[in-house]
Structure 1
């Protein structure tokens, strides 16, 4: 099983970062706009459409407000590996800064490269989005 670990600092408060991560039905607006073009909730599953046309169905395994952690598993769609489980977690790095940790486990191992590329691209968009000052409409 391949393990992808992405960690980066965000110049935004942990509460603001967590609010965006926790809003699991608005990923395409609040977390990775442009990289994800649509997100739709269907009971305990979200359907995520990426800019490259990949569509995944993600079972929402856990949303833990105390730990500021969301866990999900890909259970279908156009990219359906044998196993894909991921979590995103937000940690305080002082009052105005956050540490974002995104961990993904995937099989088969040959999917690690393409998924790691998507994680890298997504992380860049997440950081940029979360560090952009909010407009009055946000």
Structure 2
């Protein structure tokens, strides 16, 4: 059975949040504290987590109009992994970041859910530090 995990966090500057999420090759800046490094070659990035785990992710697509980016883990501990970030405006300059991840096997959610929680908290914290 596939597990879907969604995390949301309010951001004070929706545009700055989109710029941080959009920068696919520099995710280690937006997610500092959870990610240690990130390198990009063409549409594939190697992501190193602070816990030492390394995964290879492929950019699936960027929808600038909807401020959404989709990617998939193509070399890592999953049978399937597909995720997206979307930044939605709240109408007054701020917004919400929505991070959704679909994974197999479902047992992987025990590892992914805490990483996503830590990641979304790091994203919001790092964004506030620069805005």
TM-score of the superposition, structure 2-length normalised? 0.95
Give the match for residue 43 of structure 1: 42
Following superposition, the deviation at residue 18 of structure 1 comes to 0.5
1:102 aligns with 2:103: no
**Counterpart-to-counterpart distance in 2, 1:125 and 1:4:** 17
**Counterpart-to-counterpart distance in 2, 1:88 and 1:62:** 11
Give the match for residue 91 of structure 1: 88
1:121 aligns with 2:118: yes
What is the root-mean-square deviation in Å for CA atoms of aligned residues?
1.0
Partner secondary structure for residue 132 of structure 1: helix
**Counterpart-to-counterpart distance in 2, 1:8 and 1:34:** 17
Aligned structure 1 segments of 4 or more residues deviating by more than 2 angstroms? none
**Counterpart-to-counterpart distance in 1, 2:31 and 2:101:** 17
Cα deviation digits, residues 41-71 of structure 1 (max 9, x gap): 1211111000000101001001111110010
Partner secondary structure for residue 130 of structure 2: coil
Cα deviation digits, residues 8-63 of structure 1 (max 9, x gap): 21122x2111011001111111x111211111012111110000001010010011
Which ranges in structure 2 are unaligned for 5 or more consecutive residues? none
**Residue of structure 2 aligned with 1:131, choices 112, 116, 128:** 128
**Counterpart-to-counterpart distance in 2, 1:75 and 1:41:** 14
Give the match for residue 26 of structure 1: 26
